[in-house]
Amino acid sequence: MKRMLTTMTMTALMVSGFATTGIEKVEAATTYKVKVMADGLRVRTGPSTAYKAVGTVNKGKTYKYLGVSGSWTKISYSGSSRYVASKYVKKYKVTTTTATKASSSFSRPTSGPITQGYGAASGVYGYTFHNGIDIGAATGTPVYASAAGKVITSRNYGAYGNYVMMTHTINGLAYTTVYAHLNSRSVYAGQTIAKGAKIGTVGATGNAFGAHLHFELHRGSYVYSASSAASSINPLNYFN
Ligand SMILES: [Zn+2]
């Protein structure tokens, strides 16, 4: 995009967005393990020396912690619940986190070289942060939906010229994509579109010098700023 949107455009665009969290899901699970602190520690079938020893373990080995019984610690040993004397083991916490990422869920909306990347910009065109990427392509080159989703805007307005805005839900997270400066639009607000379906063609409408696709990816709803990322994220990190 070659110029910041007018305040009026901004208001209209923000109203057309929708509320969402926009935060990646991170699931944390805490479990406990024990570390053996002495060599030749007996592993028994029950919590006393009266029980049969089924093996010995050495210093440094770790086992899943299952609980305590008196002065004995219950561990998972060769797939069974066994006991070792608590004074020779040390219990510790293990936290595992699983982040749900949406990478590889978006595809490039058109073919062509990146003529302007995402991020800090000179300000010569009226913005100091480029909230999307520019893909250079000839007028008429097909533009495809980057992911399956719903069209929320399809119109010719302001600096974006002919543009399409779509919302997507991927792994339970909401995203918004913007396809700007289009020569033609072939979808309507309210339509549900498959990933890769044609939504229009590359053009130079709005504030664009030369044909290119200005593509934005936002986490959650569309929030624009001429001087910061606002809700935008770098599409290049999300393409498969
Ligand atoms: Zn641009």
Q: What is the pLDDT of residues 164-208, one digit of tens each?
A: 999 999 989 999 999 999 999 999 999 999 999 999 999 999 999
Residues of the chain with pLDDT under 50: 3-24, 101-103
Distance 77 CA to ligand 1 centre (A): 59
Quote the CA–CA distance of 97 and 175 in Å, as a whole number.
Answer: 23
Cβ burial 109-136 (10 Å sphere, 16+ → b, else e): bbebeeebebeebeeebebebbbbbbbb
Amino acid residing at 11: T
Query: Where do the domains of the chain lie, and which CATH numbers do they carry?
Result: 7-25+102-237 (2.70.70.10), 27-98 (2.30.30.40)
Distance 212 CA to ligand 1 centre (A): 8
Distance 117 CA to ligand 1 centre (A): 8
The pLDDT value given to residue 26: 57
Q: Which residues surround ligand 1, an ion (CB under 5 A)?
A: 1, 134, 214
For 54-79, write each residue's pLDDT tens digit: 999 999 999 999 999 999 999 999 99
Distance 238 CA to ligand 1 centre (A): 17
Amino acid residing at 27: E
Distance 160 CA to ligand 1 centre (A): 9
Distance 215 CA to ligand 1 centre (A): 7
Cut 0.85: pTM above it: no
Distance 110 CA to ligand 1 centre (A): 14
Distance 173 CA to ligand 1 centre (A): 25
The pLDDT value given to residue 159: 94
Distance 152 CA to ligand 1 centre (A): 20
Distance 3 CA to ligand 1 centre (A): 9
Q: What angle do CA 184, 186, 188 make, to 5 degrees?
A: 120
Distance 190 CA to ligand 1 centre (A): 25
Listed in sequence order, the residues at least 6 apart from 151 whose beta carbon sits closer than 8 Å to its beta carbon are 164, 165, 166, 187, 188, 189, 190, 191, 192, 193, 199
